[in-house]
Amino acid sequence: MKSRPLLLAALALGLAFGCSKPPGATAASAANAAPQNSENGTPAMTPPPTNDSQPKQGESAVYIVKDSGVRCIAPPCPSYNAFPVDKPDAEPIPVHELELSAVTDGSDEKTESLIRKTLDGTGLKVQGTLETRPNAGPAGAATVLRASKVEN
């Protein structure tokens, strides 16, 4: 039973200092952007908010994806940074999930190989779209980069 206070303290600190919502995300904007449910009752994916330096919502673009080094207690966690290739001066886009199933045909080995490329200095170059998955976990919505092609 002595471990219970330590566990509670770790969880509280994780929530206080762990992952947080991205800048600009407010309760009012989240309330105004209530997700539509899909036919099977799951929240529908929506394009993430963008600024002028990021690709347009839902538009396919080419990104260099690198591991962000961020690790969190509560999901979703911005584990990756996506750098738009055509806008080198743009701020990196925090990405919570990297969806590679369209380019790996379900192969765990190929997926693992591609994820390892995000860890080296050059990153993984992919073409894909950014989407937001609302209510992805206790830390809020997740930005998903859905890769449609791996580039060399």
pLDDT in tens, 70-94: 998 888 999 999 999 998 788 999 9
What are the pLDDT digits (tens) for 137-150? 898 899 999 999 99
Separation between Cα atoms, residue 114 and residue 28, nearest integer Å? 37
The 10s digit of each residue's pLDDT in 118-142 is 998 889 999 999 999 999 889 889 9
CA 140 to CA 103: how far, in whole Å?
Answer: 27
